[in-house]
Structure 1
Amino acid sequence: MIPSIRTAYNHQFTDKQYHDFLEGIALEAGEAPVFKVAETPVFIPATLTAQLIQACDEIIAVIMRPDFKELTRHAIPHQLKAPHENDHPHFIVIDFAVCRDEHGELTPRLIELQGFPSLYAFQELMARQFRTHFNIPDTVNNFFGGLDSESYFQLLKEVIVGNFNPEEVVLLEVKPHEQKTRIDFYYTEQRLGIKPICVTELIQEGKKLYYETGGGKVQIRRIYNRVIFDDLHRQQEHLGKHVSLLQDLDVEWVTHPNWFYRISKYMLPFIHSEYAPKSWFLHELPVIPADLENYVLKPLFSFAGQGVLIDVTQADIDRITDPENWILQHKVQYDPAIVTPEGPAYCEIRMMYIWPDDSPKPLLVHNLARISKSKMIGVTQGKPQQWTGGSCAFFEQEL
Structure 2
Amino acid sequence: MISKYRKQFNQEFSQDKYEQFKQSLKQKSGLEPGFRISESPIFLTNEFKNKLIDASESIISQIKALPKGTLEKAIPESCKVPNDTKQPHFFTIDFGICKNENGEIEPQLIELQAFPSLYAFQKVFEQTFCGVYPFISEIKNPMPDNEFKDSLKELILGNENPENVILLEIYPEKQKTAIDFVFTEKLLGIKTVCLTKLKKEGRKLFYENSGKLIEIKRIYNRVIFDELNRIPDLKTEFDFREDVDVTWVTHPNWFFKISKFLLPLLKHQYVPKSYFLHEFPETENLENFVLKPLFSFAGSGVNLNPTKEIINSIEDKENYILQRKVNYESVFEDINGEFSKAEIRLLYIWKENDERPILLENLARMTKAAMVNVDFNKKDAIWIGSSNAFFGEK
Q: TM-score, structure 1 length as denominator?
A: 0.95
Tell me which residue corresponds to 1:362: 357
Matched, 1:229 2:228: no
Q: CA deviation at 1:215?
A: 4.0
**1:192 aligned to which of 173, 179, 188:** 188
**1:304 aligned to which of 298, 301, 304:** 298
Q: CA deviation at 1:286?
A: 2.9
Tell me which residue corresponds to 2:100: 101
Going from structure 1 to structure 2, the CA distance change for 1:244 and 1:288 (only over 3 Å counts) comes to: farther
Going from structure 1 to structure 2, the CA distance change for 1:358 and 1:73 (only over 3 Å counts) comes to: closer
Distance in 2 of aligned mates of 1:39 and 1:305:
22
Tell me which residue corresponds to 1:8: 8
**1:255 aligned to which of 250, 263, 281:** 250
Deviations 1:162-190 (A, max 9, x none): 11010100000110111000000011001
Aligned 8 A contact 1:36 1:384 in 2: no
**Given residue 164 of structure 1, which amino acid in structure 2 is its aligned partner?**
E
The equivalences for 1:169-318 within 5 A come to 169-235=165-231, 237-287=232-282, 289=284, 291-318=285-312
Deviations 1:68-120 (A, max 9, x none): x5222210111001010011001000000000122211100000010000100
Deviations 1:104-153 (A, max 9, x none): 11100000010000100000000000000014444423x3xx52211101
The equivalences for 1:130-145 within 5 A come to 130-141=129-140, 143=141
Distance in 1 of aligned mates of 2:374 and 2:310:
20
Q: TM-score, structure 2 length as denominator?
A: 0.96
Q: CA deviation at 1:242?
A: 3.7
Q: Which 5+ residue runs of structure 1 have no aligned equivalent?
A: none
Q: CA RMSD in A?
A: 1.4
Helix, strand or coil: the match of 2:146?
helix
Distance in 1 of aligned mates of 2:91 and 2:143:
18
**Given residue 153 of structure 1, which amino acid in structure 2 is its aligned partner?**
K
Helix, strand or coil: the match of 2:123?
helix
Helix, strand or coil: the match of 1:124?
helix
**Percent identity (aligned):** 44
Q: CA deviation at 1:360?
A: 1.9
Q: CA deviation at 1:214?
A: 0.8
Helix, strand or coil: the match of 1:210?
strand
Distance in 2 of aligned mates of 1:136 and 1:119:
24
Aligned 8 A contact 2:130 2:137 in 1: no
Distance in 1 of aligned mates of 2:88 and 2:211:
34
Deviations 1:40-92 (A, max 9, x none): 0011112111101101111111222262x522221011100101001100100
Count of residues paired in the alignment: 392
Runs of 4+ in 1 over 6 A off after TM superposition: none
Distance in 1 of aligned mates of 2:312 and 2:169:
36
Helix, strand or coil: the match of 1:335?
coil
Distance in 2 of aligned mates of 1:140 and 1:369:
16
Q: CA deviation at 1:15?
A: 1.1
Helix, strand or coil: the match of 2:369?
coil
Helix, strand or coil: the match of 1:164?
coil
